[in-house]
Structures are given as structure tokens and as C-alpha cells.
Structure 1
Amino acid sequence: MIRLLHFRAGYLLLLLACALLPAGAAQVRVPAGRGIVQLEAKQQRREGSVFLADGEVDIRYETLRLRADHVEYDTATGEAAVRGHVRLDIENQHIEASEGRYNIRTGRGSFKNVRGSITVRRRPNPSVLISPNPFSFEAREVERLDQRTYEIHGAWVTVCDPDKPVWRFYAPRATIKLESQARLQGASFRLLGVPVFYLPYATVPLARRQRQSGFLLPQIGSSSRKGVTIGQALYWAPAEWMDMTLGAEYLSRRGVAQNVELRARPWENMRLSSTYFAVNDRGLRGPGGARVPQAGHQSNVSLDAYLPGGWRAVADINQLTSLKFRLAFAETFTEAVNSEVRSSAFVTNNFRGFSLSFSASNYKNFLSAVPETAVVLRAAPSARLSSVEQAPWRRWPVYFGFHASAEALYRSEPGLTTPTAVQRFEVAPRVTIPLRWGPWLGVMPTFTVRSTQYGAQLAGGTVVSQSLRRTTGELTVDVRPPSLARVWQRGETKWKHAVEPLFVYRYVRGVNAFGRFLRFDETDTLTDTNEIEYGVTQRFFRRWPGGAADEVVSWRVAQKHYFDPTFNGAIVPGQRNVFQALNSITPYAFADTPRRFSPVVSDLRVTPGGRYDAQLRMDIDPVRRKVTAVGTLIRIRPYRESFVTLAHFATSAVPALQPRSNQIRALVGYGEMNRLGLNGSFGFSYDINQRFLQNQIVQVSYNGRCCGLGFEYRRLALGPVRSENQFRVALLIANLGTFGSLRRQEKIFE
């Protein structure tokens, strides 16, 4: 009570002192709420509880600053009436007006003939052009309802320069929620002053994060096979951990396409995503005038979750109705030429050196689109238990491990179909004994006994439901001679050249009749073998002063020698042979006859860091005396944001092993789609053997500080199924999105 009396007495004395000040006093300080209102002006006087000030009036209170030519401030209510060159600044908010009223205590007020801005610090977003400009608005009248809300009447809003806006929205009424969004009712979007489209309801994000529910900007394009395309999508973010995009697109020559994208993270250790794309296709007219529909859909569900008890669940489920659908409606060349559909799901737990997992998988590889044929491989359900090498004795370097599995398998292909569930059980214990002779030689032999039981087998090319057992003895000896190294210094940079030889001997016996085993996965491609793999790897390392060493160049050269060229009868002359002993050295098939030597595999990688890196891989076949496979990849960033990517892939083996191919791909460009300034990119894929361009793409965009314009031309040449030209135009609106049909997942600046 005494403190309250002291406060009131001080307050009355302060008011009395202010009242006795002469009319020309420069500053007045008045208590208000939890702070002090400081009022400065050239002229001021007091009438009762009201201060009247004129001439460069400046009021400060906490984070608020209110300036005007004339101010009438009521100390009893905290209300300030302002006129002439009114300017209000509160944190990131700035308002200029001709007149208005503002209550310093409540934060409420109204202003007329307003120009204002709100500064928003936005996170970089690769999908949206981000402008550093503030959110600007002009209005006939603005009401400040509370600390976070403005009501605007007769509003113009933009993120461009308000004096020369390239684009802006007009709305009779708008509501601004700080750190959230601006809601526009009856919005009209105008480009260079010309009305472009009308929206009954629109939102402009003002939060640091760009997640706001609402309709996305429309997309428009043109295609020689789809006709004019017009699409619209709804983005819905009901919670911080979930969002969804629902879209539809009208294709004037084909029909209607639908797409759905869902993302969710219900808790920290779980991520879920799903996509769905479908087309109700009328079909293009064929040579006889009849329509040939290619309708279908594709979907994906991905899950990654860490569960209680050390369990982890992972799923990647994909579905595709037909290869014709993918060839007809895939947006990119890479997606269109992918003939595989993979699905897998598993739960696993790793504990004390053991791993237990339960899984299901499905693999489908389309062989042809018309007529549609495919190879289907399925393993569901599947249970696996394995262990890492563990030593039961401390003094003895003897390590034990094992692998065990039980699975139900299925295979279907033209001319061969197995029962729905072919059982396969396998147990494979192993012993590893690492040995070392001084610092110069290491030898690590591993002994494995593998027993596999099948519920069906092949007999004369026919599946027979008769069990088959395979028991093999396997020996692997890994010999690591000492590496040779030389270290030298040039200037302040240290260099190291290391030469690492490698010898691995493998011996497998017990498979015997390899042709009786059904092929489901790599487990079934085990054959008898007696082989040695030898090679050498050279590495160059560089260490900058005070930094870590990085690998600049690596070059691996390796080859296998087979002491048993027929692999105990597994080789079938005159046809493509693929099994573990062959494809563990190279993924390219090379054996159509008994072989004693594999191709020499050369893999050169140059990664100096910064602007350049390159890779050259070659298979040199000593039997055919030629290069049978070559792959080259070069990536260069010669100047600032410019980039060049060149790739060449070719195979020249006999047609019985795999089709010959010789393709070049190139991508040259500068910048990226949402970068300020001029950006461009050009890419193509050329088939040298067929002498035609498979894919061409040109994309150019120019972005200012508040908007940009993008153009794209794309051509896909996929044989009789699809030959298409696409033309797309996009208007990139800063902080909002893209009006047009250039989408993030389709862009090529990566």
C-alpha cells in the first residue's frame, strides 16, 4: 500500500512538472503501463490530460516509434490522434499514412491512405524464388487489431518495389497475420498493371517457413501428344508434422490426370511419404482412326521408422499398372526408360552382434511394352538371422559367424512360372582366422559351409515340385601384401602416392548340377569355382596446411583367373551366362563360352575437389582382344555458376551377351531455376548406333528480386510408343510459387 502511494505521488509530481513546462519544451516523459512514453516536438502544450504537439513530433514507447506533424496524446487513455506525414515503426512493421489514431497501451489503431511494409526473414527454399524485399502494401484504410493482426481495406500487396511493381494483388479486403500469412478476399492478380486472373480467396505467406494451406498457382503448358494442359492443385497442411498436395490436370488430347503427394512425420523417429499419379486416357487415334488408350496409374509409399526395443521398420512400395503408361506419361527421359518396378519392406533389429530381420520384396522388369511381357520375382515372407564375426577366445584369433534364412519365393517370366510359394531354407556358418606375418603380410582365410534346401527344382526346363538340397564348402583367402607409399612436399602442400596390391582366392565345391536350381536372387547364382582375383589400386592424397588429407586420384585395375573354366559344367556355351563368379568382377556379361580369364577392369577416378571431377571405367576383354564396355563421366564448373556434365556409355560385346549400345549425354548450363539473374541449361541424349536424339531439353529463366520468367522445350523420342514435343512457360512469383508448368521435380539444373 505504501509503495502504491509513493508511485501515485511521483506520478502526480511528474504531471505537475510537465504542466509547468514552457510551451517550447522539447521533450516530455510520461509513465504508461510498464514503461515511459517519450514525446518530442518543436512545439507542445498540455490541456488537461491531453498533450498537443506540432512540428516533427516523435513518440517512443518500448519498441514503438510514432512520428507525425501533429499529435494529440491523451495520457489517461493512451490514445494518440496523428495527422500529417504519419510514420509508425514497430519491430519489423513500418506504416506511412496521412492520418490515424493509435492506442499506445493496447496496440490498436487505424490509419488512412496507407503505405506499409513488413520485413520477413525467409529460409532458403529450392522450390520457390525467394525475394529479400519486404512485403509491401497500400490501402485506403488500415486497422491494427492487436499485436499480430492488421485489417486492410482497398489493399494492394506485393514484394516488388512498391514504386514500380512488376506484379501485385488487389483485394477489397485483406487480413494480415504476422508470422503467418496475408489473407486476400476477392483478389485480382495484375502483371504490369494488367489483370491476369481473379481469385475469390488467396493467401500470401509471411512466416519464416513457407507452409501455408491453400490452392497453388495454376499450371499451363502445351504438348504435341497431350495438347493444351491446364492444372490446379490444393496444398493442405493440417499440422506441423503433415502436409498433402492434391492436384488435377486437364489434357485436351488425352483426358484428366490426377496426382497426390503426402508427407508426414508423426514423431521424430518416423517419416512417411506417398505419391500417386494416374491418367484417365481417351487415347490418341491410331492408323485406323480408333483410339488407343494408355490409361493407368503409378504410386509410391515410403516409410522409415525407429520403433521401441531397437527395431527399425523401412518400406519402399512402388506400383505401376503398365509399361505403356510410363512410356506415355513419364515427364522425364530417365523415368520413361526405366523398365523396373521395385518394392520392399522390412523390420530389423541389431543386438549384441546379431541381426534379425523380417522382410517382403517384389521385383518386376518389363521386357516389352507391346505385347507386354515381364519378369516377376517375389520373396514374401522372408526371415533372416545373422551375426558378425565374434571371437569366443581372447587369445586365439578365431572368429565365428553365421547366416540363416527362411523364405517363400516366386518367379514368373515368359515360358516359366513357379508355384506361388517355393520354400527356401539356408544355413551358412563360417570361421575366419586373420593371420599376420610382421608388418608386411596379412592373410585372412574364411571357411564356410552352406546348406540350402529348395521346395522345387528345374527338370528339363519345367518346374517340378520336388525338393532339392545344395551343400557347399567354400574357402576364401584374402591376401594383403604391404602397400608401397611415397610422401613428398611441394611448397606447403604434402602429397602421398600409395600402391595397394590385392589377391583373393576363392574355392567353392558342392553345387554340382547348377542348371537344376531356380533363379530368384544372387543366392541361387552360386556355382562351383576355383579362381583367384588379383589387382592393384593406386591412390594420390593431398594435405593442405592445417587440413585433412583428401584423395585426389584413385585407379583400380583388377582381373580374375578361373582354374576351372566351365565352373563344373555351369557354363552353357552359346548363351549369356550370369552368376556370382562372373558378375562379382564386372556387371557386364562376358561369358558365352568356357573362360579362364575375366576382362581386365579399370576404374579411374579423379576428384581434385572444387571445379572438376571425372571417372573413366573400362572392361578390356583379353579373349576378344578389345574394349567391351566403357563409361565416362566428366563434371566441370569452369566459371562461377556455370556447369558442364558429359557422359559416354558404350558396350561392344557379342549380341548374345547384351545388345550393343553407344550413347552420349551432355548437360551445359549456368545457374539454377530460382537464382537471381539469367539462368540457362541445355541437355541432350544421343544414340550413336541408331543415329538419333533420344532426348533434348532447353530451359531458360530470368529472375528479378520479385519475379522471374522461365521457358522450357523438351523432346522425348521413345520409339513407336511416344515421340513428343513439350513447350512450357512459367512465371516465378517470389515467395509464392510458380505460375506455369515448370516444376521442381522436373527441372534439370542438378
Structure 2
Amino acid sequence: MNRVEFPVAGRQKNSRHRSLIFLSIMLFAANRADIHAQQVTNEVLPDAPASTSQYPLARAVPAPDQPSDVIIAADTQSTQGGHFVLDGNVVITYGNRTVEADHVEYDKATGDLVATGHLIASGGLNSERIQASHGTLNTKTQTGRFYDVTGTVGIKTPASPGKRAIYANGNPFIFTGRMVVKTGPQNYDLYDGTVTSCLLPKPDWLLSAAHFQIDDKQARASNSTFRLLNIPLLYFPYVTHSVDAEARQSGFLIPVFGDTSTKGIIIGEQIYMVINRSMDLTVGTDYFSMRGWYQMATFRYRGPGDTFLKVHYTGLVDRRKGNANQGGEDLVVAGRHYLDANTRMVADLEYLSSFIYRAAFTENFNQAVSTDIVSKAFLTHNQNGYEASLYNDRYQGIKRIAITDALGNIVTPAQQIRIFRVPSLEFSSVDHMLGHSGFVWDVDASASGLKRVQPNFTTSGVIERYDFRPELAYPLHGGGWNLRPMVAVRETFYSRSRVTPLGPVPAESVTGLNRADFEAQVDGRMPVIERTFTSGWLRNLFRTDFKHTVEPAFTFRYVSGIDNFNGILRFDDHDIAANTNELQYGVTQRLYLKPRHPSACTTDATESDALIENPLLDTLPGGITDGTGDGLQPKHQCGVQEWITWRVTQKHYFDKSFGGAVQVGRRNLFDSTLDLSGIAFLTEAREISPLVSRLRVRASEKVDVEWDFDLDTGAKKFTANNFFVDVHEGRIFSGLSYARLNAPGRAYNEGIPSATSDFSQMRVLLGYGMPTKEGLSVAANAGLDLKVSSLQYAALQTSYNWNCCGISVEYRKYELGSVRNENAYRFNFTLANVGTAGNLRRAERLF
């Protein structure tokens, strides 16, 4: 028998009624919207009178999630006086909802229907789905009763068999019950039921209760029992589970418990407060049985567009006394706000009262060993290639400073240096054409107030600095050559200067200083030399074509006029400009791979035969994805791929003493050395810089290798030598990094070298698994100081995930000298889409 499908009470056009009738119908519907809204939208609508026919016709629009036209499809049907009897694959659609069953009796006038046999009611704003043996429903009031129910909220049913379900929001759950009473479009009463977010029929956890209430915001129950792996564990007098993905609820977070060798037993609690839809606040405290009270607070704001503000505070009141006290405070503020499309305010600020506090209590190793804090805030406006900024920053760092003790001896303890730049004005531009002459120009200018504070020296108030640098260039192109000759002048005025000749302790002079220079530079890019290899053993081995390119480049730079370098107080990179006459030369080589048969690759992610499963894209347990791609990605990458990149460069200094600025035996930093390498190398006059090499290899989609080194040909040693490798195959991943530094000390001051100029460190990582997949995962990492043969830190994590819950355990060790020698044990237990109990935070995971 043919399948019948037809609408019921659909809209029609009629031009014979006046707008007064239409208005009366709308007013009546407004008073009785709960009963008659559907009737209004399905009645014959009148046309407007001739005098107003030029205006569009106004039509009543049903409220969200309200029924509208009813469409019926069935194998067989019979109708008598608006009463439908439907059999065989019955599908009734109204609004964004659907009812399916084997047998349905439907009354058009009242909207009542009775369904039996494989009843499925689905749809709504939260993607609700109810499966029942039988039930009743009213399509107009959206009320009814269902029996022997299994249902879901927030989970989209797969379009075809074999496909996995997809979360429709961030708070999905599944429920079962003897009876479900539907009291509204998104309101249900569930009797003798269970609620879980795990897949049935064997959920890892569930809540069972005699009565649940479910609406568009949350599911609530009294006197419920929490079961884990079908074992009753907890009794809850009252419990809620959020349904609305956009909703947030204030309350207490899951308590934190832990134990470490330096903090003792840890007990903590936090309160989460929703201020409004754009702001929230989390406040909490931990009690360390061996140290005292640790406080934390986080405020978050998310505004329109890219506007945001985040404030995070931590502090410890350490009960230890004297030098053993490691208490302190750390405040971080980050934010951004756009005043208009071209104007923005940005802040990235941090206040740290003690580096020892952060080293002793932060859980991030890189933070623990860092000795630099940079805070910045600026207001900037960009328009037509010009930028004007109001800028402020603060630097705080630990350096080795030469200090004379009571006996006259010079010592170099680790002390803090603070450098401030009070609100300064900066103006710059990109290249602008000078008429039709072919010349381009740009300019940089600033007016700053600066202050420096360190144990043996403090500037007297704020030092004023005014800097102005215009530039004129004439780009040339032809025959594959690209040249950019330019000239510039620079004028810088300081309201204070430094006393010369330099003594063991810095001294400030009240005399101002003017620095002026002339600059000339030529940047050159030679024609790229290239060759494509389409034959040979290498091509046959890798089954691909190869393309090799060689890109030579050079820069000649001349600066003259700076004859007072040692009289300049140091604040930032503006103050290390020096005379130079240099030539930088280098070459970049690239090796590209190209598939021999372009048809073998594809980027069409819609073709199932071109897709493979990528477990990295599956972020949710239980085989349910987040809807971003079903864990599939293209098999191959089309086109040319960059395989190997190797850049080598070096500088030749025709002016070996940089206009007399080089001080023998000291660590000299100039702008022309800093833009070549971040590793200091200049302690005496020299002609040749170290050879700087940067080699990167994309060996395959699973292996990345990088080798960076600075080779000092004069000293015949590597001043820096770094090696990195990353390997991942399926669920196995590993990483290795080696860093070697053998260069002038990081903090030379008045000829006193730092003891941190020579070190060798290694980092290793090895693991198997993924914390979002079912089964076992394990990972370990470690940091080794090869110079002194000691372990700096190490961690071992293991986790096991079931359908939708998991447990993770970690051991972590820190060895940071006298500041921190700690063994820590952490764990967490996670219920998918519900929460996590424990003290192992996501940011600390190794996976």
C-alpha cells in the first residue's frame, strides 16, 4: 500500500476579508495563546484592504517551540469528522517536534493523540527524545503521558544506523522511568526513574529516585541514590543536574583533598558565583597542614566581540618564620576592550611579591624556574597605516648584581631589578609612498618616562627620553632580484646620563645626553635557485617528487654618530643602539615533497572513502563526539608539502669595536647582536659573529625534528645547541629536548660574571593513550640537569576510563635546590558532563 503524507489545516491565501477581522483574531489569540495559537496560524488569513495593499501582510508567528501546522504520514489512514486513525510507520510532525508510532488516533479539533507500539516523541529546543511502549499527547498544549520510558535530553540521534550520537549541548543526559508526565513544552515529571549521562544499557553511574522534575533549565530530585558501577555509594537529600547548556549555577564546587611532602595534608573548597550572563567569580581556600592557609580567587568577564577581563589571585600565609617563610602573593590581570574598530585597550599585568613563593608553590615547572615578569598595558589607535599608542610597562627580574659588602669585597648575590616605563606616547607608521617618485617613507617616534631600581643603583626619579627616527627607502625589483636601500636619521634625548668612565658601581649624572646617528642599510634577496627531481633512487624510495630551493639573502648596515654609548643609562632595547659597519649573509634551503599522483590525495571531507578516524578529534567518552567532525579527517594533504627547512646566517663586522662601545671582559649587548641571536657572544672586539643555524624537519606526519645551534667559530665551541624531536604513532607519543648553553653569563655587571653561563639540560616525555578515550592511559616526563647530574622534576600519570567516568592518579616530584624539594600525590575522579573530584587539574596533565 502506498504511503500517505499530507498537511492538516495548512495556511491559505484569501483576499476577501478586512484587516479588522484579522486584528480581532490576533487579539483573541493573545488572550488565549495557550489554547488557540495554533488555530490562528492555521485559519484562512485575510488580505489587507486596497488602500493599504502596498504594505506587507502581517502574520502571526508561533512562539519558539510551539506547535504550528500538523503534517501526517502513514502507510494507511482513515478519516471521519476530523478524527484520524493511522497505522503503519506513522509520523506526525508539528513545529520542531515529531511523534512516531505503529498506531495513532489523532483528533484534529482538540489536538489529542493516542499512540501505541514503538512510540517515539522527539524534538524541542534541547533535542529531547522519548521512547515508550505507549502514551497520550496533545499537540496544542504539548502535554501528555508516556509509559515504560527511555529518554534523552541534549543528544542528537544519528541520521543513519552505524553513526554515533552527537551531543547537542554541553549538558546531555539519559533517563528511564516507569511513567513520564509531560506538563509543558519542556517540562516533565519522571516517576520511578533514573538519570545518567552514560550510554545505556549499562551506565557507569546513575541517580535513581521515585520522582524527578525536569524543565528547560535543570533536572531535580529528592531522596536520590548515586550508584557507581551499579553499587550504591551516596544518598542525596536533594540533587540537580543542569539541562541548559547556557545556564550556570552558583554553588559550592567539589572539595579538594591531597597530600605532599612539603605542604602536608591538603583540604580545600571553592565557591562559584554567577554574577550575570557575562561575569562570574570563583573564591576558595586550601588548608596546608604543614604551612597554613592558601587563598585563591578568579574573576572572569566576557564582553561583545573580543572583549574580556580575567583577574586571578593566589596567596599563602606561611606559618614558618624567618628565612624558612615562603609565603607571598601573585596577582595576574589580563584584558582587552575595543573602543571602536581601530582603537583598543589591552592589559597583561602581574604583581608577584616573592619569586620564592612562586617557585615553592606553583604547579607549573616553567613558572617555578622563571625569573622574569613583564607587565604591559597600552591604548592604541590604528588608521590608514599610522599607529598612535599610550604605553606603560614594568619589568621585574632576578639578576646577579655586584654589591660591595662591609669589608669592601664585591659579591654577586641574586637580587631583583625593576624597570618601569611610565605612560609613554609612541607613534609609528608603515611604508607610505612619496608621491609617484618610487620612494617610500616611514617614521617611529616616542616620548617616555623611565625608572630603574636595583640594590646598588636607583635612578633619581623618572628619566625622560625622546626618540625620533624617520626613514626613506627606494625598493628595487628586477630579474628575480629584490633590493631595498634605505637611509635614516635618529635623534634621542635623555634628561639624565651615566657617569663615565664606568666604575664598579653605576652612578647617575644630572647632565642630559643627546644621541644622534645616521643609518644606511641595503636588504637584498637574490633570485631563488630551484630544481625539481622527478627521477632517481630518492624519488623511488619516497614515491614522491622533490623540489629543492636555495634562497640567498644579505643585509649591509652602517650606523655612525653614536660616540657616547657608555654614557647612556640602560632601560630597554632603545638604549643599546651602537655604531656598526656590518654585513649579514645567509641562505635558506627548502626541500618540498609533492605526491607523484595528485589524484591520490583529497581534501573533500564529505567523501567517506577519503576519511580516516582521528582519535584526537574525539573529545568525549562513550563514543559520543562533540559534533565537530565525528573524529574524521582527510587521509592525505594535497599539494606541495615543506619537508626540510634549513637557514644558516652569520655577520661580519668591519667595525670590530662598534665605535669603541665594546668593553673587554664584559658581556656586551648591542641592537646589531641582539637581532642575530638571543645568546650573548660579544666580550671583546671581533670581526665574525657565531654561525647561526636553524634546521627543521617534518620527517612525516608523525615525526618532527628541530636542531638549532649557534657555533662560535672564533672560540671553536657551540655557544648554544638545542635539539627537539616529537614522535606520535596512534596512541603512543614521545618527546625529547636537549638544551646546551656555553656563553657569556646571563647577567654580567661591571665585569662580574654570572655563574649561570654554562648549563646542559634535557627534557623527556613518553606516554600511551588519551585521557578522553576508554581504557588505560599512562605518561611520564622528567627534566634533568646534566651539568650537575640531578633531577629537576618528574611526573608519572596514569588513568583508566570506563564508558563515561574515569580515574587518574599522579606522582610528581620537584627538586629546585633549597627552595623546593617536594613529592606530591594527586588524583581525580571524573563523571562525564557532571564534574571532577580531586586535585589533579587539566593544565597539569601530561597527555
Query: Could you tell me the TM-score, scaled by structure 1's length?
Result: 0.83
- For residue 586 of structure 1, the aligned residue among 677, 685, 688 is 677
Residue 468, structure 1, aligned to residue 486, structure 2: no
Residue 629, structure 1, aligned to residue 671, structure 2: no
Q: Distance in 2 between matches of 1:74 and 1:388?
A: 73
**2:342–2:381 contact (8 Å) kept in structure 1:** yes
Q: Distance in 2 between matches of 1:379 and 1:57?
A: 75
Question: Match of 1:414?
Answer: 455
Distance 1:624 1:86, change over 3 A: closer
**1:131–1:159 contact (8 Å) kept in structure 2:** no
Moved more, 323-332 or 360-369: 360-369
Deviations 1:99-119 (A, max 9, x none): 976545422235677554435
Alignment of 1:437-452 (within 5 A): 438-439=478-479, 441-452=481-492
Matched AA of 2:347: A
Q: Distance in 2 between matches of 1:470 and 1:483?
A: 40
Q: Distance in 1 between matches of 2:696 and 2:802?
A: 39
Q: Distance in 2 between matches of 1:595 and 1:75?
A: 96
Matched AA of 1:181: Q
Residue 402, structure 1, aligned to residue 443, structure 2: yes
Question: Match of 1:373?
Answer: 415
Question: Following TM superposition, by how much is the alpha carbon of 1:700 offset from its aligned partner in structure 2, in angstroms?
Answer: 1.4
- For residue 499 of structure 1, the aligned residue among 546, 550, 553 is 550
Deviations 1:465-489 (A, max 9, x none): 2211111111212233333221233
Alignment of 1:696-715 (within 5 A): 696-715=794-813
Question: Match of 1:478?
Answer: 523
Question: Match of 1:126?
Answer: none
Deviations 1:121-152 (A, max 9, x none): 49xxxxxx999997233456543221101133
Question: Match of 1:144?
Answer: 182
- For residue 649 of structure 2, the aligned residue among 558, 563, 571 is 558
Matched AA of 2:524: V
Question: Match of 1:23?
Answer: none
**1:273–1:302 contact (8 Å) kept in structure 2:** yes
**1:278–1:297 contact (8 Å) kept in structure 2:** yes
Question: Match of 1:223?
Answer: 260
Name whichever structure is richer in strand by fraction.
1
Distance 1:501 1:681, change over 3 A: same
Deviations 1:234-270 (A, max 9, x none): 4445554444433333333333333333332321242
- For residue 241 of structure 2, the aligned residue among 204, 227, 236 is 204
Question: Match of 1:233?
Answer: 270
Residue 568, structure 1, aligned to residue 659, structure 2: yes
Alignment of 1:264-303 (within 5 A): 264-283=301-320, 292-303=324-335
Q: Distance in 2 between matches of 1:703 and 1:64?
A: 36
**Alpha-carbon RMSD:** 3.9
Deviations 1:406-435 (A, max 9, x none): 000111122111133110001111221224
**1:706–1:734 contact (8 Å) kept in structure 2:** yes
Matched AA of 1:574: G
**2:266–2:289 contact (8 Å) kept in structure 1:** yes
Q: Distance in 1 between matches of 2:520 and 2:282?
A: 55
Distance 1:584 1:133, change over 3 A: closer
Question: Following TM superposition, by how much is the alpha carbon of 1:684 offset from its aligned partner in structure 2, in angstroms?
Answer: 0.6
Question: Following TM superposition, by how much is the alpha carbon of 1:153 offset from its aligned partner in structure 2, in angstroms?
Answer: 4.9
Distance 1:281 1:489, change over 3 A: same
**2:313–2:329 contact (8 Å) kept in structure 1:** yes
**1:121–1:208 contact (8 Å) kept in structure 2:** no
Moved more, 226-235 or 406-415: 226-235
SS of the equivalent of 2:432 reads coil
SS of the equivalent of 1:720 reads coil
Alignment of 1:338-357 (within 5 A): 338-357=370-389
Alignment of 1:560-709 (within 5 A): 560-608=651-699, 610-637=701-728, 639-653=729-743, 656=753, 658-709=756-807
Question: Match of 1:529?
Answer: 580
SS of the equivalent of 2:266 reads strand
Q: What percentage of residue pairs aligned between the two structures are identical?
A: 34
**1:205–1:735 contact (8 Å) kept in structure 2:** no
**2:814–2:821 contact (8 Å) kept in structure 1:** yes
Q: Distance in 2 between matches of 1:232 and 1:172?
A: 31
Deviations 1:561-601 (A, max 9, x none): 22222222212222222221222221111122222211111
Matched AA of 1:250: Y
Residue 330, structure 1, aligned to residue 362, structure 2: yes
Q: Distance in 1 between matches of 2:394 and 2:361?
A: 23
**1:120–1:208 contact (8 Å) kept in structure 2:** no
Question: Following TM superposition, by how much is the alpha carbon of 1:73 offset from its aligned partner in structure 2, in angstroms?
Answer: 9.0
Moved more, 141-150 or 163-172: 163-172
Q: Distance in 2 between matches of 1:715 and 1:130?
A: 41
Deviations 1:438-485 (A, max 9, x none): 415443222111110001111152112221111111121223333322
Question: Match of 1:106?
Answer: 141
Alignment of 1:181-196 (within 5 A): 181-185=218-222, 188-196=225-233
Deviations 1:63-89 (A, max 9, x none): 4548699x9999986667899x99553
Alignment of 1:424-463 (within 5 A): 424-436=465-477, 438-439=478-479, 441-459=481-499, 460=503, 461-463=506-508
Q: Distance in 2 between matches of 1:74 and 1:504?
A: 86
Q: Mind listing any 5+ residue stretches in structure 2 that lack a counterpart?
A: 1-13, 18-66, 158-166, 402-411, 600-637, 746-752
SS of the equivalent of 2:366 reads helix
Q: Distance in 2 between matches of 1:494 and 1:518?
A: 57
Moved more, 670-679 or 573-582: 670-679
Moved more, 60-69 or 214-223: 60-69
Moved more, 445-454 or 184-193: 184-193
Residue 256, structure 1, aligned to residue 293, structure 2: yes
Question: Match of 1:118?
Answer: 153
Moved more, 166-175 or 716-725: 166-175
Question: Match of 2:563?
Answer: 512
Q: Distance in 2 between matches of 1:209 and 1:671?
A: 32
**1:131–1:706 contact (8 Å) kept in structure 2:** no
Distance 1:74 1:626, change over 3 A: closer
Matched AA of 1:648: Y
Q: Distance in 1 between matches of 2:130 and 2:106?
A: 19
Q: Mind listing any 5+ residue stretches in structure 1 that lack a counterpart?
A: 4-31, 123-128
Matched AA of 1:152: L
Question: Following TM superposition, by how much is the alpha carbon of 1:316 offset from its aligned partner in structure 2, in angstroms?
Answer: 0.9
SS of the equivalent of 1:106 reads coil
Question: Match of 1:722?
Answer: 820
- For residue 423 of structure 1, the aligned residue among 441, 457, 464 is 464
Matched AA of 2:739: F
Alignment of 1:79-98 (within 5 A): 89-91=121-123, 92-95=127-130
Residue 391, structure 1, aligned to residue 433, structure 2: yes
Q: Distance in 2 between matches of 1:344 and 1:405?
A: 16
- For residue 734 of structure 1, the aligned residue among 832, 837, 841 is 832
Distance 1:35 1:513, change over 3 A: closer
Question: Following TM superposition, by how much is the alpha carbon of 1:220 offset from its aligned partner in structure 2, in angstroms?
Answer: 2.7
Query: Could you tell me the TM-score, scaled by structure 2's length?
Result: 0.74
**2:130–2:152 contact (8 Å) kept in structure 1:** yes
Q: Distance in 2 between matches of 1:401 and 1:95?
A: 68
Question: Following TM superposition, by how much is the alpha carbon of 1:536 offset from its aligned partner in structure 2, in angstroms?
Answer: 1.7
Matched AA of 2:197: V
SS of the equivalent of 1:567 reads coil
